Every structure is written in C-alpha cells, then in structure tokens.
Chains A and B, each alone.
Chain A
Amino acid sequence: MPDEMEEIISEFITEAEESLDRIEPLFVELEQKGHDADMLNDIFRSMHTIKGAAGFLGFQSIVDVAHSSENIMKKLRDGEITLSKPLMDAILKSIDMLRLLLEHLREKDGVEEDVTPLTQELENVLKESLSGSPEDKVDEAAGEPPDKEKHETVQSPDDNARNTGEPVPPHSGEAQNHREDDNAEKPGEPAQASRDTSPRAKEAAQNLRVDVERIDKVMDLAGEMVLIRNRLLNISRYFDASYGSDAQTETLMEAVSFLDRVTSDMQLAVMKIRMQPIQKVFSKFPRLVRDISASVNKKVEIEIYGEGTEVDKSVIEHIGDPMTHILRNSIDHGIEPPGERIAKGKPEKGRIVVNTYQKGNQIVIEISDDGKGIDIEKLKEKAVEKGMLTEEEAAKMSDEAAVNIIFMPGFSTKETATELSGRGVGMDVVNTNISLLNGYVEVSTRKDKGSTFRICIPLTLAIIQALMVEVAGIKYAIPLSPIEETLKVSKNEIDNITGQDVIVIRNKVCPLFELNEILGTGSNGSHARDHKYVVVISLGEKKFCLAVDRLLGQEEVVIKTLEGIDTASSYVLGASITGDGKVVFILDVTAMSRSLVEAT
C-alpha cells in the first residue's frame, strides 16, 4: 500500500512538473499578446488540475498556492481584470513556488515552505487589479454567472482519464493533449493552430511512461547486438570465401544478411525511444529571456521555431546550459539598450530567434540576435591584453578564427563582471558541453546586424558512423560526420610553411598533421613512404588534414565510454569493440582541432 501511494505521488509530481513546464512559456507569451481566451483557459485548467490532484493527495501548501493563482487566472479569463506586470510577476513567483514545493516532495526532505506571504501577495495584486479597473467590474456582474456555470459544471466523460476530478470545458481535448510528446504551439502563432485534435483519452491509451533505466538497458543490449552482428558478418565472410560452394554457406550468408538488416532497424527503433522533442528544453527560454532582459533594462523578445524536432535524451540533458549561456550572452552583450537601438534605426525591441532543424544526421540549433554583433578588433585586443594571443598572432588571424576567441577559457570583453556575464566562463562552458555531445559551435557575426550561434550535434550519441584508419599498426575510428574527404597525396605535394606541413586542396592551403605524432603512439615509420593517405577534417570554419598509414573503410561503431582514462589529453572520445573483439579508440577530432589549429 505505501508503495502504491508513492507511485501515485511520483506520478503526480511528474505530471505537475510537466504542466508547469508547459504553461510557463504561455504566461510570457500572454504578457506580450495581451488577452487570449484559449491560452488563459489552458493555463487555468492546468492550475486547476494541479490543485485538484494535490488536494486529493493532501498537499495543502500546493493547493493554497495553486488556488490563489488560479483565482487570478479565472478573473483574467473572465475578463474581469487585465494582465499587468505586477500580476504577472506574482503569478510567475507562484510557479516558482510550486516547483519548489514539488522538489521538496520529490526529495522527501520534509521541508515546509511558508506559502502565506505568497498567497497574500497574490490576493493583494488581485485586489489591486480589481479596484484599478472599474470598467471591468461592470463586466463582472454581467459575465460571471453564466461563465461560471459553463466552466465548472460541464464535464465531458472522456476526460476522466487523468483521474483528477478536474472540471473541464467541452473542448478540452483540443487544449489538453499537447503534453511533452506533442508538437506544441509556436509562440507568436495563434495557439490552436498547431494543436493536435485527437481526443485525450485515446492518447492516454497509446502512451506509456517507462523508467529511463529500462530504456537504457535496451539501448545497451542493442549496442551489444551490433557488435555481435559485426562479428558474425566477419565470420560469415570467411565462410563465404573458404566454403563458398557449400549450400549451407549460402543459407548462412542469407541468415546473416537478414540479421544485419533487422539489427540496423532495431537499433534505429531503440534510438527513437530515447528521442524527445527539444521543446522540453526550450519551454524555459521565454521566461528566462524575460527575466534576464528585465534585469539589464533591455527589451527582448524570443521566437522559437522547430521545437518539435526530436533529439536524444542525453542531448536534452546537456543542451540546456550552453543554450542558456548563449542567450544570456546575446541579451547582455549582443542586444543594445532601447535608446541605442532607436538611434541606429532598429526597432526598440531586440529579437532573438531560436531555430532548430534536422540536417542529415545532425541536429542544428541556430540562435540569432539582431544586436550589435561581435567586435572582432576588440576581441583581438582583449585577447592580446590578457596574454592569450601575441600581437602577431592576432594580426594574422582571420575574422572567422578570431570570433572563436570568445570560446577561450577565461575570456570576457566586459570590463566588469555583472551578475549575468563577464566572468569569462560562459562561452567556454558552451564549447565544452557541446563537445561532450560530439557536436561543435560556429559563430557568425555582422556589425550592427547581429550574431548567430550555430550548434551542430549528431542525432544519436550511442552509435556513430566512423572511418576506420590505421596508423603505426594501430586501428582508430574517426567519426564520419566531420570528415570532408579522403585523399592520397604523394610526398612532393606536401609543402612546409614556417615549420608546418601543409597541402593544397583545390587552391586552398590546409595544415597537415601526422596522426601518430599527435597521438604519441607507435613508431614514426610513415614519413618514409612515398604516398600518404590524408583525411580532411572540416569543423565549422576550421579545416585540417590528418595523415594516416591506411584507410580501412567505413564501419558503424558503438561508443563505449571510458572510465579511468584522461580523455582530454588522449584525444579520445570513447572506445569501441570491433568485430574481432579488439578495442579501438574513437578519436575526438574536435579536441584535436582546438589544440592543433588554434596553435598554428
């Protein structure tokens, strides 16, 4: 029995948190758009659901907070009061409080928050708004009774799926069903436009909450399957070569190739289980932008597109922080204060656009602002001042390369550190977190037009396509996505400019590095050969070549994480096990590019 109760409570916490995640951006949108009955209804209902369930479970403080804010929502919905900033601040505060209360519940830490000051505040702002809008009061007398009846007595039988005893208006199916797994509405568009209209009850039957650990277990097993499949493929090739005439060999080949296909499909299917719409992360942003821009006295609006794009769970977990840093940076450094914007002939309100889409097997997230852009000269100046670059280096540096200075650890152009930025950690964190996801960040900027941060992350993190290479007798895997091409070059095509080997590819000079020198493994035998195989790596604006002894072909590899090894210095992002049971390292070309290309 206690177990059952615990399950109900944890279910409640999850659902309540989801509701909060979903309605929080709506508030901010509401603030910008003013009155929107549908949206208000939606928020009102979510609050009401939370209140109902909390009441049922006996969480009085949650009931109190939800009740007070629900009161405000009701009055707003009925048009008795209009939305004002103090009202909005109070409501957002109540959402924060609800989150805190839920957190305490989850942690079972028994901490009690005193919610009376907050409920008091909510009541006060409500009273103020009521007394401050006399014309609305007239509406109240005329409009409330029928409204009340409509919303609190009509209940559609379908909607009992949630089991919360929540009173719902008849068209609830439309508004209620966009939970985390739905393609939610885009801020800036009419809310109902992108809503799915299938009934809520049907959806409940088709979704299943599963413990993440179970999915990860299946994922691991699928990974093992891929390895075994690879081994079987190797063995069957041997049989095909040695006993090709035997009829049984043919049967074996057939079975193995069928297994091959099924394994690939299964892998994909398992991967999809872990995929979630990136909206989960984005839903925090409207609020974040509102709060940050208010704290620096700027006016900024955010537009989010493509939040239905699905990404791996681990991307969801790791992308929030770097994106928050980029947004902060854009608001604090990029967008100008309103006065300056008007003087430049721009709209007073700054605009940040977040756009997400899938491109090949990558997810691209673009964050663009229409601010003042990054001042390249100033960047260089600062970097020289801080001893991160010499003056010559700065002078030689192209604009594209110089923009990347912002990603250097400890770099900041702000004279003084503010609460928001200027400590010189943010952009470094962005780079590190995104490298963890095997992705990379690019920046492009135009003076007074704004800057764009483009984050590219591979779709899945567990299994990647890789090019197998061999150097000094050791096999390595290089992730396929940053590889532009492979070349065979003869020794006399390699030039040496100020100590750096380079080759010319279609009239462009490209630095060349010996892979075994970078890795410090094996002997240095490849210098003697007439020909070299070269892998051309392209990461954003950076391009460099790695010389290897042999190219072995393309393979699908399962990334195994490495414990107990310093992956930063070894340029390794993981290991994989090949068909014959050997360990092969997967090289981290992003880390290589950072230490090699910037050093030259």
Chain B
Amino acid sequence: MSTATAGQEILQLVSFTLKDEEYAVDILNVQEINRITEITQVPNSPDYIEGVINLRGKVMPVINLRKKFGIEVKETDDTSRIIIMDIGGVTNGLIVDSVSEVLRIPADIVEPPPQISSGLNSRFIKGIAKLENRLIILIDIDKLLGDGAEV
C-alpha cells in the first residue's frame, strides 16, 4: 500500500489504459475485473457516475474514469472493462478502456508526481513508475472519491 522508498519493497499493481496513457492501482484494492454489463443511470448524479450495476445481487456505483479525469469520452467496446474496487470501504466499479496486466515493481522506481502536471488530475496521482520504455501513472485510489469534486 505504501509508496515508501524502502529499497526492497515490491509493489503489486494492476495496470490499465485510458486513451493513450497507462495507469495502475494497488492490487489489494482490486476485487475483480468484469466485462461491461448493463448499467442503470442514477438520477441527478454527478456526470462521472455512469450508473449502478448488479454484481451478483449487490448494487454498486460505476465511475467512468475517463470522465472523472477529464479525458474525452469514448463509447465502451469489447476491450472495455469494469474494475471492481474497494474504495474507502465502499465497493465501486471503474470503467477503463482495457486492463493490461499485473505488475510487480520495486517501490523505489516510483517517483512523486512531477510538479508540471499541476492540472486538476494530479491530486489523484500517487506517483509515476518508470519502467524500461514506458511510464505508468499510479492512482491514489482513496483520493478518487471522497472530496466529490469533479474535473
């Protein structure tokens, strides 16, 4: 869970894509990954709440991560997935473009978010992991909800 720079620590992450960027969340928060199912719209709800789904008898909200991050919206397709996550004790679904893989990376390759990305989204970013030829943005899942502010 922590991004402490204690040399030996290994982070296990689930990575996914939104538009052209690669993102990741801590695997411990992830409950399961599902294909897009039927989503029921919630009356008078913030734009980024896509609706609710029925996951084996449990009703839970689904957040469209593109909308939450202010990325241009795209219709969901065959590669789209709902990542079911525990966010601050509440089970939520996150709609992402695709889910890539499970990553194991040493904690010390994670750098704090760069100052230049002072955009509104940066507060959701926990850090950036530099792998050989790609950058992965680590999302601070607990900040994703909570303040309720939209992008």
Contacts and interface: CB of A to CB of B under 8 A. Distances in A.
Interface of A: 224, 227, 474, 518-522, 560, 562-566, 569-572, 575, 577, 581-585
A571 B59 contact: no
Contact of A565 (B38, B49, B53, B57): B49
Given A560-B57, A569-B45, A577-B54, 12 more contacts: A227-B57, A518-B43, A522-B41, A563-B90, A564-B60, A565-B42, A566-B45, A570-B42, A570-B44, A581-B38, A581-B54, A583-B51
Contacts of A520: 43-44
Given A582-B38, A583-B59, A565 B52 contact: yes
A566 to B, nearest CB: 7
B41 A521 contact: yes
Nearest to B87: A564
A226 to B, nearest CB: 11
A518 B61 CA distance: 20
Chain B residues touching A, majority SS: strand
B43 A564 contact: no
B91 interface: yes
B42 A577 contact: no
A450 B59 CA distance: 46
Nearest to A227: B57
A571 B90 CA distance: 20
B90 A572 contact: no
Measured as residues with beta carbon below 8 angstroms from the partner, the interface class of chain B is: 20 to 34
Contacts of B40: 474, 575, 582-585
15 contacts: A519-B43, A521-B43, A560-B58, A562-B59, A563-B90, A563-B91, A564-B60, A565-B52, A569-B44, A570-B45, A582-B38, A583-B38, A583-B53, A584-B40, A585-B42
A564 B58 contact: no
A570 to B, nearest CB: 5
B54 A571 contact: no
Complex A-B, nearest 7 residue pairs according to Cβ-Cβ distance, in ascending order: A519-B43, A583-B40, A564-B90, A575-B59, A564-B61, A570-B43, A563-B90
What does DSSP make chain A's interface, helix, strand, loop or mixed? mixed
Contacts of B43: 518-521, 570-572, 585
A474 B39 CA distance: 11
A503 to B, nearest CB: 23
Contact of B54 (A521, A522, A583): A583
B64 interface: no
- Greatest chain B CB density within 10 A among A474, A522, A575 is at A575
A571 B43 CA distance: 7
Nearest to A567: B42
Contacts of B87: 564
A575 B44 contact: no
A227 B58 CA distance: 12
Contacts of A582: 38, 40, 54
A523 to B, nearest CB: 12
Contacts of B139: none
A569 B45 CA distance: 7
Given A564-B92, A583-B52, A577 B57 contact: yes
Contact of A571 (B44, B58, B61): B44
Contacts of B38: 581-583
Contacts of A569: 44-45
Interface string B15-54: 0000000000000000000000010111111000101111
Nearest to A566: B45
A562 B40 CA distance: 13
Contacts of B92: 564
Contacts of B45: 565-566, 569-570
Given A521-B43, A571-B43, A585-B40, A565 B58 contact: no
Contacts of A224: 57
Nearest to B49: A565
Given A564-B145, A565-B49, A565-B52, A577 B59 contact: yes
